[in-house]
Copies of this chain bind each other. A is one copy, B any other.
């Protein structure tokens, strides 16, 4: 199977896509970290604990909801635990529960607003307002996100 090199307009679209995805993520995560002391990963863990689990979840479902390997979550929880944002406890069977702490709830509450503002400023406000345009974009993003 022969594969022609990317034509200039193809290369252009690829570079634009790459720069846009890096820029949006970097801007949102930078604001969250600078203004709230939470990385995007920290924010993801804390908000899922609260939104999906009323403050605590088992290890594996939490990892799944983040799209993370269980080992990645394990390392990350160890670091967040030292900062007293979450805690770990053993369940009745062999399972582990991750729970948000009071300090974690406070940080998350402060971060929600900053996150919402950053997402609007750097992404949502720049998307065309028409319902047809938005629907097209939703469809494209859904296609692009299909797992390998």
Contact = CB atoms under 8 A, between A and B. Distances in A.
Contacts of A117: 3
A134 B5 CA distance: 20
B25 A141 contact: no
A24 interface: yes
Interface string A69-98: 000000000000000000000000000000
Interface residues of A, number: 50
Contacts of A30: 148
Among the interface residues A5, A16, A26, which one has the most CB atoms of the partner chain B within 10 A?
A: A16
A141 B14 contact: no
Interface in A1-59: 3-6, 10, 12-14, 16-27, 30
